[in-house]
Amino acid sequence: ESASVVPSTSERADPLLFLKPPSAALPAGGAIRYPAGVTRLDPEAEMAIVIGRRARAVSASEAVPCIAGVTAFNDVSARNYQRQDAQWTRAKGFDTFAPVGPWMAVGLAPDRLGVTCRVNGRQRQSGSTADLIFPVAALIPFISRIMTLEPGDLIATGTPAGIAPIEIGDRVEVEVEGIGVLENRVEAPVA
């Protein structure tokens, strides 16, 4: 749904790709910092694929063996910057904007998992990876034709409908079926 909240990005023939810097990574229990200048901050509940072996120009049939496991991911987004900028680095690249975990699950079929987001205990998003616009078997080949995927790389796979803003003090939970709950609180920026 992320692309649907930004004009001119909702209907695409190919997946929309962007990178998050390593400094955006945040473990379960860490604080999502609400940056100064951001007027709308949204969580996006997603399943992330953890790459387990080097992948370059793999086919759809070679995609699943490249997966080490799956985990919960929160693609935190500064929506005002996402709408304003021609590309999404600033909107999605702030420190703490990539909560991930609490652990990686091995052996789960990534194409049929429930994905849920709760804020302060109230459900905001609920969907299934079966409803992804681009399935895992298409994402890995597409991305690996552009860049080599290395062990430990994460691919966030998209978010269900129901995106709504979060505020300082909120508790955000992203749950992926079979993995567990990724929980983070939203806090003011560090001065």
What are the DSSP calls for 138-167, one per residue?
HHHHHHHTTS-B-TT-EEE----S----B-
* pLDDT per residue as tens digits for the range 136-164: 999 999 999 999 999 999 999 999 999 99
Mean pLDDT of 22-29: 98
| φ, ψ of residue 127 in degrees (nearest 5) | -160, -170
Sheet holding 154-156, edge to edge: 25-27, 98-105, 67-74, 45-51, 154-156
Gyration radius of the chain over CA positions: 16
User: pLDDT at residue 17 above 60?
Assistant: yes
Give the pLDDT confidence of 79-100 residue by residue, as tens digits.
999 999 999 999 999 999 999 9
| Joined tokens for residue 39 | 């007027």
Q: What pTM does this model have? A: 0.93
What are the boundaries of each domain within the chain? 2-187
CATH architecture label of 2-187: Alpha-Beta Complex (3.90)
DSSP tally for the chain: helices H, then strands E: 4, 12
